[in-house]
Amino acid sequence: MREYLLVLLVAAGVTYLVASLARRLALRFNAVALVRDRDVHTKPVPYFGGLAMLAGTTAALIVATNLPWLGRFELVQRDAWAVFWASALICTVGVLDDMVELGALAKFAGQVLAAGIVVLNGLKIYWIPLPDRIISLDDVTSIAVAVFVILFCVNAINFMDGLDGLAAGVVGIGAAAFFVYAYLLSFEQELVRATTSSLLTVALVGICVGFLPHNVHRARMFMGDSGSMLLGFLLATSMISLTGQLDPSRIDPTGNALISAYLPLILPVAAMALPFLDLVSAYIRRTIAGRLWFQADKQHLHHRMLTLGHSHRAAVSLLWLWSAVIAFGVVIIGLTDTWWSYVLLAGGLAFAALLTFRPGRRPVAHG
């Protein structure tokens, strides 16, 4: 655990320090977010937060692979560096988009190429648990499922990045929940606690923590597509890697351990509940309206929170709360499977709903 904590601190520290340099570069190359009709900010803000995050990720992986404990596991090193090179690629695509605004097809091609790098290096979803058995996936299916998960996560976080501090906070919370689950599950099943999933998620928490001081309202810089795609990519690959390092033969498909088997598949949805809901609702909404799914509008979750009358800071805090309740609630259920864990989750959801829709708040027109 001490080495994981060191990795987190390195990722946070480097991200925080490099962010100031990245901000200057963004201003120099005119990579700034101009004010558009659908935006919430009222003045141009520099991009390139993704560059700072990539620097934090790089530093974290270099430190981790040279530590006496994490550094001696060859599988972790191989997977981590495969993720790094793919992350560098997807961040580069995002940087280009922040500077010259690439088309949707060009960004999608970059995302697919980055996904291809990691799946060809073995980061795939190898098995899926069913109520009566656990089935192994063939190579084609495992690659297709992994690529789909990566593309979905990357674009979901991109959609969520609409308020200062929102995407970094939501991803950081989801990554923290997944780290807790991966680490405790390895301990519970007497597995090696050095996993690619734990390493990537703790580094992901670190870069989110390091970036937030620059990004909370009023933001001094934005992560841009370089950051949002990087966060989604790291979150997706950390979750996918867990299925490749758990032995399904050790899980009883007829007992309580089945919940632990399902968690690597359920928890990504829980950790990304808000981005998932936002992306799916946007797809449905725009399809019904006869528009392409990637055509922007002002009906995202964060826009609706502002319409309810919440301030910028309150809207972000409430969405963080929803993310924490869902992600950590599912983790507690998966690790304990007790009646009180379900009650705790229900109580947390009720509390979040009460704060979100509390009586007496005056809705306001947004836009």
Question: Is residue 7 within 8 Å of 59, Cβ to Cβ?
Answer: no
- Any domain includes 339: no
Instruction: Give the pLDDT confidence score for residue 131 in this predicted structure.
Output: 56
Does the pLDDT of residue 42 top 70, yes or no? no
Question: Is residue 199 within 8 Å of 72, Cβ to Cβ?
Answer: no
> What dihedral angle (degrees, nearest 10) is formed by the CA atoms of 165, 167, 172, 173?
100
Q: How far is CA 31 from the centre of its chain?
A: 24
355 by DSSP, 3-state: which? Answer: helix
- Any domain includes 268: yes
- Any domain includes 365: no
> What own/partner pairs with CB < 8 Å and gap ≥ 24 does 303-307 have?
303/40, 303/162, 303/366, 303/367, 305/356, 306/40, 306/364, 306/366, 307/363, 307/364, 307/365, 307/366
pLDDT tens-digit readout, 239-259: 888 766 565 555 544 444 555
- What is the pLDDT averaged over residues 2-13? 94
Q: How far is CA 77 from the centre of its chain?
A: 21
234 band by pLDDT with thresholds 50, 70 and 90: very high
- Any domain includes 79: yes
- What is the pLDDT averaged over residues 284-313? 66
Count of domains observed in the chain: 1
- Any domain includes 345: no
- Any domain includes 106: yes
Alpha carbons 180 and 335: distance in angstroms, whole number: 10
- Any domain includes 108: yes
360 band by pLDDT with thresholds 50, 70 and 90: very low
Domain that holds residue 253: 2-297
- What is the pLDDT averaged over residues 271-287? 70
- Any domain includes 367: no
Q: What is the pTM of this model?
A: 0.84
- What is the pLDDT averaged over residues 39-58? 83
Question: Is residue 86 within 8 Å of 115, Cβ to Cβ?
Answer: yes
pLDDT tens-digit readout, 316-342: 888 889 889 988 988 888 777 788 988
Does the pLDDT of residue 155 top 90, yes or no? no
Instruction: Share the mean pLDDT of the chain.
Output: 80
Q: What φ, ψ does residue 134 adopt, rounded to 5°?
A: -115, 125
